[in-house]
Amino acid sequence: MSIEKILKYQEVDMKLFKLENELKTSESAKKMIFYQNATKQSLDTLTRLNESAETAMENIKKNMSALTDINRQMDEIASGDLSDCDEKQLDYFAKQLEKLEQRSDELEKEVSRINKELSETNSKYKKEYEQAGKSSKNYRVYTEEFNNLKKEKSGEAGEILRELKEMEKDLNVAIFEKYKKVKANKKRPVFVPFIKPSSCGGCGMEIASDIIDKLSEGLKIQECPNCGRIIYNKD
């Protein structure tokens, strides 16, 4: 079984793979992804800060409503006619006022704490908003740079694709199916040489003696049980 044509095909296909890899690992691609993630992270943070601010505002409203109710109760006690009250009743009203005043102080402190927290949240929101703007701007810059680089390489990639398409016509169907199957599993290169005395030229692992025997007996290609690549023996 001749494998010269598929090896030549693989050689050309690896040029395309190298070109695609150069694009994916380019500085513009790395920075584009970095600023894309940074923008998303900032937007997620802004969402959380906004939710925190809304919760704080709701708590302030609840506490202010409670304060209003306490003040109303205190006014009712203070404005009531206590002339007919005995000492026990007066003591009761005094204790009620003390409790209401204590609760009023607690609520005011809580409102003050929430206001401080809200102020800090607003400050964080402003800084994060500015950061999101910078990240978004950089993302657009590097996306444009990446697209320009992609456009530059697309011409060369198109030529390689056309060459591969022509070569496919002369390939053994069974061998080409094997090639596509291994390639789909992200194994590159697909066809690798047998390294004497007993190793796979792809993963470097030792292969079983029965596979070595088959490679030596004229069955020129065998699948590596470790990495799944196709081992070939030209000898």
Model confidence over 40-72: pLDDT tens digits? 999 999 999 999 999 999 999 999 999 999 988
- Assign 77 a pLDDT band (cuts: 50, 70, 90): confident
Instruction: Out of 61-75, 116-130, 153-167, pick the least confident.
Output: 61-75
Residue 86 has pLDDT above 80, yes or no: no
Helix H or strand E segment including 231: strand 230-232
- What pTM, to 2 d.p., does this model score? 0.73
Alpha-carbon distance 31 to 33, whole Å? Answer: 5
CA of residue 178 relative to chain centroid, distance: 34
In degrees and rounded to multiples of 5, residue 196 shows phi and psi of -70, 145
Could you give the count of Cα atoms lying within 13 Å of 74 in the half-sphere of its Cβ?
14
Quote the pLDDT of residue 218: 63
